[in-house]
Structure 1
Amino acid sequence: MDEKDGGKFHRGQPNEVGLIDKMKEEIELRKQMNVAELNDLDEITRLEIEGFRTGTYLRLEIHGVPFEMVEYFDPCHPVLVGGISLGEENVGYMQARLKRHRWHKKVLKTRDPIIVSIGWRRFQTTPVYSIEDRNGRYRMLKYTPEHMHCLATFWGPLAPPQTGVVAVQNLSNKQASFRITATAVVLEFNHEAKIKKKIKLVGYPCKIFKKTALIKDMFTSDLEVAQCEGKEVRTVSGIRGQVKKAAKEEIGNQPKRKGGQPREGIARCTFEDRILMSDIVFMRGWADVEIPCFYNPLTTALQPRDKTWLGMKTVAELRREHNFSIPVNKDSLYKPIERRPRKFNPLVIPKSLQAALPFESKPKDIPNRKRPLLENRRAVVMEPHERKVHALVQHLQLIRNEKMKKRKLKDEKKKKEIEAERAKDEQLTRKRQREERRERYREQDKLKKKIRRHSEA
C-alpha cells in the first residue's frame, strides 16, 4: 500500500482505470466511425446493413393466420410480437421448482391439468410432482406439500433455465377465489424424466422347507421373478429373506390338471429363520412413473373475448358433472385389527432329557394331568411272596422314619443347649469388655489431670 495525497490506494488501480477508459474511448471512436460511414450510404443500403432503428414504425405481414384470429380480433387487446431462441422451438420434459401459492386454498394433485405461462407461451399440461431424496432419487408425490417447494415435471415447449412460471386452473374471470394456483421457476430440461414411486408386493407361503419357502401371489410370471432375483423380502414378524429364483415344476407349482401348464409366479426365497404358513411376506421396491406427453396450446385469440377457453377437465370436475362417487379401495380403509388368539401346544420334555438338564431349566410348575396315565390307572395284583416283601419293606421304612425322628429331636435339643451356652459366654465377654473399657478410661482421665497440673505449675 502506498500513501499519496493523504489517501490509500492499490498499486494496480490507476492502470486498471486507465485501461477501462481507453477501451471506452476506442468503442466510442469506432461507433462514431461507423455512424459516419453509414451516413454516406443511401437509405435502402443502410437499412440492409444496420437494420431498423429504434423508434421506426413497421408493418408486419404474417401468412397462414387462421381466419378466426381476424374475425374475433379486438383492438382493446393488442397483439404483442416477441421472439424465441432456437432451443425454445423444441418440445420435451421440463423440471421446475414449484410451490403452491399461499392464497390458493386447495392442494394440487399429480396429473391434474393446469395452465402454465412460461415466457411467450401459454399451454395446458399435466405435471407430475416429486421430491428429491437424500440418495438423489426423485420420489413421486400425490399432492403438493404444504408450505414448501417440490419439483414439477411436465411436457411442453422448452424454456431456458431460471424462467419464471405462473400456473392457474382455469381462465375464467368470474372466479371468486384467488386464481393463481402456483408459482415456479424452470431448473432444467431434458429428454427423459426418472421419477420413482414406492410399491409393496404381498405374498403368502405355499410350501416351507426349513429356512427356504415357496412364495405365491407375489409375482404373476417367472419373468417377474427373474427380474427381482436378489431383492430383499420381509415377513410381518420381522424375519428377513431374499428372492432366489422361480420354483421348479417338480417342487411346488405342478399343474392342477394332468397335461396342463405349470403355475408361474411362485418364487423360492430363503430366510434367516424358519417362517410359518400364517406369515405374510412383503417386498418393497421402486417403480418408474410415466409422465404424460401432453400439452395443449391456448387458442384464446381464435375465439370471442366473452367466451372462456376450456381445456382438459380435472378428474374431480368430471366426477362432479357425471355424479360419480369417489372409488373406495377396501384395502386402504382403516379398520380394527381383530386377531384370533393363537393357542400353542405346551412344551413336553421327555424324562430322560429332564434328568440331564440343569436345575434352572427343569420344568417345575407343571400342572397335574386331568386324566392319569394308563400305567397309573392299571390295577397291580401282587403275589403272596411279593406281598410279604412289600410288608417287610414297609416295616423297615417305618423303623427308619422313627429313628430319623428321634435323631432329629436329639439334634434339636443339643442345638438349643449349645445356643444357650454360647449366649451365656457372650454375656460374660461383654461384661468383661465393659470393665476393661472403664478401667482404661479411668487411667486416661488420671493421666490428663496430671498433665494439666504440670502445665499450670
Structure 2
Amino acid sequence: MRMMTRTTKARIKAKPMKVVFLRSRILQLKEEAELQRQRNIAELEDLDEATRLDIEGYRTGTYLRLEIHNVPYEMVEHFDPFHPILVGGIGLTEENVGYMQTRFKRHRWHKKVLKNKDPIIVSIGWRRYQTLPVYAIEDVNGRHRMLKYTPEHMHCLAMFWGPLAPPNTGVVAVQNLSNSQASFRITATAVVLEFNHAAKIVKKIKLVGEPCKIYKKTALIKKMFTSDLEVARFEGASIRTVSGIRGQVKKAGKIELGNKPKKKGGQPEEGIARCTFEDKILMSDIVFLRAWTQVDVPCFYNPLTTALQPRSETWRGVRTVAELRRNYNLPVPDNKDSHYKPIERPLKKFNPIVVPKSLQSALPFRSKPKETKSKKDGRAVVPEPHERNVHKLVQHLQLIRHNKLKQQKIKKQEQKKKHDAEKAKEELVTKKRQREERRDRYRTQDKLQKKMRRD
C-alpha cells in the first residue's frame, strides 16, 4: 500500500512538470518562427514587387482584381451590392453531370410528404438547381424498390440527375424560393452517398390477360402484352390464374384475326403469348403476371438564375401537376375504371358427379355414391271427412298440451324468482353473522397477543 501511494504521488507530481515542459516548447517554436519571418522580410525588402510576388506569393490582406469574361448582361444590370458574390472553385469531378444517390429524409417540421418525381430545389456545395428525384428504399435482398411518397419518420434513398458532388456532401432541399411562404421552408435534408451510381430502381407491375384458345395444358393468352417484343421480354416469367393454377410464359403465339383463315397479306394479332399450365384452364379464368419493371430517373436539372433577375422577383422553375391544375382551374381527371363497383358473381350450378359402376365396385363404402330418395310427385291428396275430424282433434290436443307446458314454464319461473330472493336474504344474514364472528375472533386474538407481550 505504501509503494502504491508513493507511485501515485509521483505521477501527480510528474503531470504538471510535463505540462510546463510542453508550454515552454510551444513558446520556443513561436519565437523561432517569428525570427525566421523577420529574416525573410529583411532579405526580401531589397527586391522589386514582381520578383517578391514570384518568390513569396500574395501576402495576407492584398487586394486582387478578378476579370470574368462571358458574363450575361442581366447580371450586370440587376447587380445588387448588398448581396455580395462569393468566388470559389470546384474540383474536376464536380464539373461532370450524372446520377447521384443520396440518403434523404423529409424535415420533421415540414407539413406535407413529398411525392415521387415532384420538382424540388437542392443546394449542394456551390450549386443550386431544380431537379426531379425518384425515391426508393432498399429491401433485405438488396432490391431498390420505388416509393410513391417519402416515409414519415425514416430515411429513404433519393436518386436524381445533376452536377456531381463528392460523397458525404450535405444537401438541403426546398420546394420554392418564395419569401411569403407561411410554413417551414426547408423541405428535406440529405447526404450524398454515391454518384454515377448504377443501381436500378424497380416497381411492381401486374399484367392481366384472358385465354383466347385452350389446348390440353397449353393456352394462348391475349390482352396481357401489347406486342411480340414485349412477350419476348417476359419469356420464362411465372403466371397464375385466380383459381391458383400456376404456369409459365413460353413464347409469342400467332392467331388469325377473328378466328378466320389466314389470307395473303393478312396480319396476325400482336401480343398473344403461348403459356403452359399445371392443369387445363377454363375460358372464364383470369390470368395475371406479377413482375418488377425498371423506373427511369429523369435526366433533368434546371440551374437557379436568381442573379440574372431583380431581387424583387421570385425565381420560378418547373411546377408540379397540382400547381398547374390550381393555376389553370383544371379538374382532377376522373377515371371510371378506378372506381370501386359491387362485385356480382352469378351462382354457378355444377352437374352432379357421375361415377361409373365399374369404378363403384372398387371404391370403399364411404366413397361410394349413396342412393338419393326419389322426388315426390306433384299430385294432391284429398282427405276424407273422418280423416279431417281426426286431424282436427289431434290439433286441439296439441294446442292444449302447448298451453299447459307454457303455464308450467311461467309457474316455474315465478317459483325460481321467489327462491332466488329468499336465498339472497339468507346469504346477506349469513355474511353479517360471519363478519361479526370474525370481528370477535380478531379481538380475542389481539387481546391474547397483547397479554403475551406484557408477560
Change in 2 beyond 3 A, CA 1:264/1:29 = farther
Matched residue, 1:424:
none
1:258 aligns with 2:263: yes
Matched residue, 2:279:
273
Change in 2 beyond 3 A, CA 1:94/1:31 = farther
Change in 2 beyond 3 A, CA 1:86/1:238 = same
Matched residue, 2:247:
241
Q: Is the Cα contact below 8 Å between 2:223 and 2:272 reproduced in 1?
A: yes
Matched residue, 1:69:
75
Deviations 1:73-103 (A, max 9, x none): 1122111112211111111111111111111
Change in 2 beyond 3 A, CA 1:255/1:123 = farther
Matches of 1:170 and 1:193 in 2, distance apart?
A: 29
1:197 aligns with 2:197: no
Matched residue, 1:335:
341
- One-letter amino acid of the structure 2 residue matched with residue 228 of structure 1: F
Gaps of 5+ in 2: 13-17, 378-455
Matched residue, 2:43:
40
1:316 aligns with 2:319: no
The structural deviation recorded for 1:6 is 4.3
Matches for 1:377-392 after TM superposition, within 5 Å: none
Q: Is the Cα contact below 8 Å between 1:253 and 1:266 reproduced in 2?
A: no
Matches of 2:247 and 2:42 in 1, distance apart?
A: 86
| Greater displacement, 346-355 / 254-263 | 254-263
The structural deviation recorded for 1:105 is 1.2
Q: Is the Cα contact below 8 Å between 2:218 and 2:280 reproduced in 1?
A: yes
1:282 aligns with 2:260: no
Q: Is the Cα contact below 8 Å between 1:111 and 1:128 reproduced in 2?
A: yes
Matches of 1:289 and 1:164 in 2, distance apart?
A: 26
Matches of 1:245 and 1:76 in 2, distance apart?
A: 69
Matches of 2:258 and 2:57 in 1, distance apart?
A: 80
1:175 aligns with 2:178: no
1:60 aligns with 2:66: yes
Q: Is the Cα contact below 8 Å between 2:101 and 2:197 reproduced in 1?
A: no
- One-letter amino acid of the structure 2 residue matched with residue 188 of structure 1: E
**SS state at 2:297 partner:** coil
**SS state at 2:232 partner:** helix
Q: Is the Cα contact below 8 Å between 1:93 and 1:193 reproduced in 2?
A: no
Matches of 1:97 and 1:255 in 2, distance apart?
A: 58
> If you compute each CA radius of gyration, which structure gives the higher value, 1 or 2?
1
Deviations 1:178-208 (A, max 9, x none): 1111111111100645211211111111222
Share of identical aligned residues, percent?
72
Change in 2 beyond 3 A, CA 1:244/1:306 = same
The structural deviation recorded for 1:47 is 2.2
| Greater displacement, 42-51 / 304-313 | 42-51
Matches of 2:121 and 2:244 in 1, distance apart?
A: 47
**Corresponding pairs, count:** 359
**TM-score scaled by structure 2?**
0.71
Change in 2 beyond 3 A, CA 1:32/1:292 = farther
**SS state at 1:40 partner:** helix
**SS state at 2:361 partner:** helix
Q: Is the Cα contact below 8 Å between 1:247 and 1:253 reproduced in 2?
A: no
Matched residue, 2:121:
115
Deviations 1:149-205 (A, max 9, x none): 111111111111111111111111011111111111111100645211211111111
- One-letter amino acid of the structure 2 residue matched with residue 86 of structure 1: L
Change in 2 beyond 3 A, CA 1:215/1:30 = farther
Q: Is the Cα contact below 8 Å between 1:253 and 1:262 reproduced in 2?
A: no
Change in 2 beyond 3 A, CA 1:282/1:50 = farther
Query: Which one of the candidate residues 363, 371, 374 is aligned to 2:369?
Result: 363
Matched residue, 2:446:
none
Q: Is the Cα contact below 8 Å between 1:254 and 1:263 reproduced in 2?
A: no
Deviations 1:238-275 (A, max 9, x none): 2211111222559x996666331222322221222222
Gaps of 5+ in 1: 9-13, 372-457
Backbone CA RMSD of aligned residues: 3.2
The structural deviation recorded for 1:34 is 8.4
1:227 aligns with 2:230: no
The structural deviation recorded for 1:46 is 3.3
1:83 aligns with 2:86: no
Q: Is the Cα contact below 8 Å between 1:153 and 1:193 reproduced in 2?
A: no
Matches of 1:192 and 1:358 in 2, distance apart?
A: 65
Matches for 1:353-432 after TM superposition, within 5 Å: 353-364=359-370, 366-368=372-374
